[in-house]
Structures are given as C-alpha cells and as structure tokens.
Chains A and B, each alone.
Chain A
Amino acid sequence: MTNLSWRAFGRRTFVGGAAGAVAISLTACVGQGSTSTATTTDAASAAALPSADVTTTIKLWTYQTLPNAKSWDAAITRFNARFPNVKVDTTNIPYAEMTSKLVGSGISKGIPDGVSYNPADSAKLMEAGIIQEITPFWNSFADKGQFPDSVVWKMGDKVLSVQGYLNTTAIWYNKTILDKAGVTSVPTTIEEFSAALAKVKAAGYGGFLLAATPDGSGEFDFLPWFYGYGQNYGAFDKATTQTVFENFGRWIDAGYIPKDVTNNNEDDNNNLFASGKYAFVQNGNWNLEKARGAKYSFEWGVADFPAGPAGAHGIGGGEGFSIGAGTKYPALVYNLFEEMLLTREAQLSILKETGSLPTRRDAGADTSIQSNADLATYAKVVSELGARPNSPKISDYLNTFGRIVNSFVGGTIKADQAADQVVQQLNAP
C-alpha cells in the first residue's frame, strides 16, 4: 500500500459515547488476549458460517486503496486459509461518493456484500435498506469486551458497525520556524497559540492550516475548537459559538490562516506543511508514517490542541464496517471483517502500517504507542476526546457544519451569521 492510498484513513467518523473510554487506555487495561480468528469466530457465528469449501465471491467496497495494503492482504490470506474458494473482490469508491453510491446501489440492485466506510452514515444506510445489523455476530464475538462502547455503532439495540481503529487530529508544529520566529515553547492555550501565530506571521512565515471543506473534513477539523469552548451539537450557545468564529475570523483576516483551506482537506494541508512554509497544521495520526518517512527538511513535532476555557478535546474517527443487506453469506462477510479489523493482530498491523490507533484495549496497550512520541501525543488526545451526542442526525450534521465553516472561512457569511446558522440548524436533538 502506498502512503497516499491511506489518505482515506483520514476520514473521520463520530465516536459517540465517553471519549475517555476508548481503547487507547494507556494504563494497560489488557484484556483477554485471545487474538486468533479461529478462536474469536466461535459458537453462534460459526454456526451460521458455510462449510469451508464454499465457493463464492465477496464484494467489498472501500474508499481506501486497500488491495495494496499489507494488513488488508494479510487478513485476506488468513481468511483464505480457512475458506480457500472464497474470492474477495474489492472495489474502490471515492470517499466523497461512498454514501451516495451505496444508496444508489439499492436502486440498481448492486449492494455490496460488505463495506468499510464512515460509520456515522450507518443509521442512514440502515434506514435506506442498504446494510443489515450485525448484532448476532457481534454478540457472539468472544473478544467484544475488548472494545469500548464508543466504537460500536448502533441504532436502538441493533449493532450496525464496529470500528477497527481510531483516528484523530492534533497540532503539528514546525519547530524550525518557531525558533526563528522567537516562539520558545509550543502553545498550550488559545491565547498562546494566537500570539505564536502573530510572531510567525511577523517573521514572514505562513501560520496555521486546517481543513475547511464543505463536508465532514471541515467539520472534523473545526469542531475541536468549539469543544474547547464547551460547545457541542444540541447545545450550541449563540454568543460562545460566535466568539469561536470571531477568533478564527481574526486569524483569517490577519493572514494567519490562508483562505485556500476552503478547498483543502488534511492531506492537502499536510503537503503544504511539508513545504516548510507553515508553522502549524492540524493533522491526523494516519499521516504520521508518511510524514516521518518523508524526512522533512525541518524539525517538527506533534502537540495537543491549545486549550480553551473548557480544555482541549479532539474528535475521534476511523473506519467501520457493515454487511450489505441481502448478502448470501453474512456470517462469512462478518468473519472476513473480523480478520481485517477486529483481531489484535490486524489492529497492530494497521497501527504499524499507518499510525491509526487500535480500538481493542489489549492492542491499545501495546508498548509501541507510548514509546513513540508522536503516537503518545495522539493517544493523549484520544484519552480526552470530545463526544458528539448519539443522534441519527449526526450524518447530516457533519456536512451542515462543514458547509457553515466553509462559508465563514471563505467570507460568504460573518461570524454572527455563522453562529446563527449553527444554533438554528445543529441544536435539534
């Protein structure tokens, strides 16, 4: 797998529930440790599995170019060791098109057998009859106790999707620029951050990059800054929300944040940061391996979000999987995803390959995380994640928030108008 191919790991999803409960509990909450699929695929789900000599093709959709991924291929190899006549046919769908194509697949009778995607859309897809619940398989999964509730996506009592890893963003800083600009320490509060941006700009460098696209990426990068002021869906306060927008407005007007970010996602911003012209970029752990491997010409590091009055809180994301409605062998598809995403072996493989953090507690306690300064910072962010409310409207909220942010950063609306729109459109339960 190429680094670029893992761009999709940057696609974030909502991690509902208590943020601190995620699997990266670094206090080593090591669980049962049963890792082999032969063990984890047991009892009830095994009963529904077809015989080992079943001949079929499983059609998977993903927005990651996973056919080249080592971990993905390794999982398929393990799976094929038990089901040698099952062919796994992976189709790559662009991230931005995934949900609409899934909805369209219902019309064209071409629903895939399984999908790796943004599980924030799982409730919508369940309503549309595109995916089916995985409740019986999940309930009989021996290691389900390893997973925090926050990565198990439900609609009522029905389990729709489970995340195999966690992604989040943090602040990458160019230490070389900070040194030249006279910023002696990495900012830890919003005020310090603002002051650092002013110094960086005065020294002739670019300031801060974060995604402001009119979609989930824009939402994913901006919402943490509202968390820092105690704001969240369903409870946005007009005055406070406007304050956060005004902060950004000052930074944009002063040229600390280029307006180009309205068209940039994290990967675009990552490329700009790599040019060595910007002091800060909000970036995801999924880009770590690529960035460290590229050996930038400057010294850089990773820091937690600058704290606002309500602290510093990121948002958790990562891909989940679901089983297509009407697939002939749902247990077989679930079993494949188990190999790909749910075993300790698979999650550590993904961690090693991409920097995406495990959702299993036993994998999250792996020493490779704390021994890596970058990953340790992300793990700290994960331990303090903000949590969106668990609402079926979240899928729509992501795009709406992204559009408001995009309009504001581009200058289509002012801070008070943006705050009005947020309060009016994103406060419904």
Chain B
Amino acid sequence: MIRTKPTVTESKPASAPHRRGGGHWRGAAQQLVFMAPAAILLGVLSLYPIYLMVRMALSDVTAANLRGAWPFIGFSNLTQTLQDPTFRAVTLQTLVFLFGVLVFTLAVGFVWAMMLRLPTRINYVAQTLMVFVWALPPVVVGNVWSFLLSSSGPLNAALVAGHVVPSPIPFLSQPETSLLSIAAVTLWAGVPFAVLVIKSAILDIPVDVLEAARVDGAKPIQTVWHIILPSIRPTLYILGVLSVVGAFKGFDFIYVMTTGGPGASSSTIPFLAYRTAFKDYQFGTAGAMSVLAMLIVLVLATAYIVVVQREER
C-alpha cells in the first residue's frame, strides 16, 4: 500500500493533462461509436416517421398524391380537426377510457395481488390462469368476447334467465355500452399482468417491516395504507404508465369488437386516425389527429417524469 501510492503519483508524466485530453476524446469517440447503432435505429424507426407524420399533418395528402408532392397548407388540418365535433367527442371518450383503465387496472390489480400473495395451491392455479389470459392474442380475446357479449350470447342468456334484465343487452351495438364493454375487456386482458407485477412488489417488502407493524398493533387496513402502498408506489407508477400507454395504443379490441361503432361511439383517437387514413384516405387529417394524439402522450409522459423525479428526491 505504502509503496504503491507514490509510485502511481510519480509515474504521471509532465504531459499528463494533454494525454488525459486525448483519452477524453477517445472515450467520447468510443461512446459515439457505441451509441451510433441505437441512434440510427431511433432516427430511422422513430424520428423519421414522426417527421413524416408532422409533415403530413401540415400538408394536403390524399390517396391521389400520397406518392407525389404534398402541398403545404399550414395548420389547416389541425384547426379543422380541432373543430370537428366527432374528433372532440372521441378525444373525450379516449380520456375517459384511459382514466377508467388506469384506475381499475391498479385498483383491481392490487386487490387481486393481495389475495394471491400467499403461497397456496389455489393461488398458484389462479396465477397460472392469469398468465394464460395475459398471453392470449388480442384478436382471439376480442372475438371470444364479441360472442360472449352478443345479444344471443351466453352472458345475455344468463342475465335474461336470471331475470336480471327483461331482454338481451346489445353491449357492443349501442353507444351507451360499446366503449364500456371494450374497456371491460381491456381490463380483463390487462389486469393479470398488473396482478403479477404488484404481487412481486408486495413480496419484496421485508417481512420484518410487516411484522413490526403487526407488533405495533397496526390493523390490516393500516398496514396496507401506511406500509404496503408506500412501499410499492414506484411499481404502481410504472404500471400506471404502462397501462395508460397500452390502452391508448389499444387497437385490436376496437377493431375486432365494434369497428369503432356504432358511429364513432367506441373509437379512440388512434382508431379514428386509422379510419381517417386507411378508410377515408385523408392522410393529412389523419396526420393532424396523430400529432394531437402525440401531444396527449407527451403530456402524460411529462407528468410521469415529474412524478418520478419528485419521488426520487
């Protein structure tokens, strides 16, 4: 130890600062080289499509000129889209849909996770089933639930047979229930993932802490509120963001179960943008919708970052 320290100090040449500078540049170059593939991928797969989308939003693009020149028309598409009553209604629906999915995913996921945290045989079976549900392809889930929720389906048959309702409810075919039904199916498919994640977070809480709370006389509800929930808060934040982003991107269930209808009553902004682009071939308007959707995602992402930063402090 004694010999080593001065040796290192003495060995530094007079030109050390210069050489450190060269090392710095080499290090920077190395970093650039290592970053390049990811940066190129990001540029090609994310930034360029976003650039095209924004350009499309500011241009008059239809099927006729999709392959040709895109005349610049400024903010016309954006202002028209914002004034469109259908877009406004769909925006409101989208926000309600996201809020509902977020709240229920976390609430139901937490309750189920608490119920399944003990290592019993029935809990293992339940978790296995949950993984199965979570892994099902969305198109399969959508088709199965379309059948279950149809007027002649088993759910309505049970409701009528049980005298719960006098006649079948067309869950997917009336504006009052179509989006609600899609939200329910989204939850059905998404909650298992939330349960598994929350349960893992709960099991990570040190047993000593829970035991100490019990010894101190904390009631179960107090333990949940003051020990468990604060302990798993970072997990809930991440899960919340994943749920919202997943629901926002959700396309399959809408496409398979209602095609966004009746009318646009079960459409979300991304689905409306899809319909505008690939059914009406109004690519400029669809680009404007997508830009506005991106802004909403940006707001959500910013809120998430702010919350996480506050949490880390």
Contacts and interface: CB of A to CB of B under 8 A. Distances in A.
Contact of A403 (B64, B263, B277): B263
A277 B152 CA distance: 10
A277 B153 CA distance: 13
B174 A410 contact: yes
Interface stretch (A29-37, A43-51, A259-267): A259-267
B302 interface: no
B175 A412 contact: yes
Nearest to A262: B173
Of the listed residues A259, A261, A275, the one surrounded by the most CB atoms of chain B closer than 10 A to its CB is A259
Nearest to A277: B152
**Majority-rule SS of B interface residues:** loop
Contacts of A107: 66-67
Contacts, number: 100
A100 interface: yes
B263 A263 contact: no
Contacts of A412: 175, 261-265
A311 interface: no
B281 A263 contact: no
A114 to B, nearest CB: 19
Interface in B51-90: 63-64, 66-67
A4 B173 CA distance: 25
Given A128-B63, A412-B175, A214 B265 contact: no
A100 B279 contact: yes
Nearest to A213: B259
A127 B64 contact: yes
B231 interface: no
Contact of B261 (A100, A129, A396, A407): A407
A255 B167 contact: yes
Given A127-B63, A277-B152, A407-B261, A396 B280 contact: yes
A409 interface: yes
Given A124-B63, A263-B173, A413 B263 contact: yes
Contacts of B277: 100
Contacts of A124: 63-64, 281
Interface in A181-227: 213-215
B150 interface: yes
B91 interface: no
A407 B267 CA distance: 13
Nearest to B172: A263
A258 B170 contact: yes
B304 to A, nearest CB: 33
Contacts of A399: 279-280
A400 B77 CA distance: 20
Interface residues of B, number: 30
B151 A100 contact: no
A314 B259 CA distance: 26
B258 interface: yes
Interface string B128-171: 00000000000000000010001110000000000000011010
A407 B67 contact: no
Interface residues of A, number: 34
Interface in A125-155: 125, 127-129
A276 interface: no
Contacts of B146: 263
A1 interface: no
A262 B150 CA distance: 11
A172 to B, nearest CB: 18
Contacts of B280: 396, 399
A128 B64 contact: yes
Contacts of A100: 277-279, 281
Nearest to B277: A100
A412 B264 CA distance: 9
B260 interface: yes
Contacts of B288: none
Nearest to B260: A214
B247 interface: no
A429 interface: no
Interface in B246-283: 257-265, 277-281
Contacts of B63: 103, 124-125, 127-128
A259 B258 contact: no
A411 interface: yes
B278 A409 contact: no
Given A103-B66, A107-B67, A407 B170 contact: no
A69 interface: no
A108 B259 CA distance: 26
B263 A407 contact: yes
A406 interface: yes
A270 to B, nearest CB: 14
Contacts of A376: none
Contact of B173 (A125, A129, A255, A259): A259
A99 B63 CA distance: 10
A389 interface: no
The 6 closest A-B pairs by CB, nearest first: A410-B262, A407-B263, A412-B263, A100-B278, A259-B170, A259-B173
Interface of A: 97, 99-100, 103, 106-107, 124-125, 127-129, 213-215, 255, 258-263, 272, 275, 277, 396, 399, 403, 406-407, 409-413
6 contacts: A97-B278, A100-B281, A103-B66, A129-B67, A258-B170, A259-B174
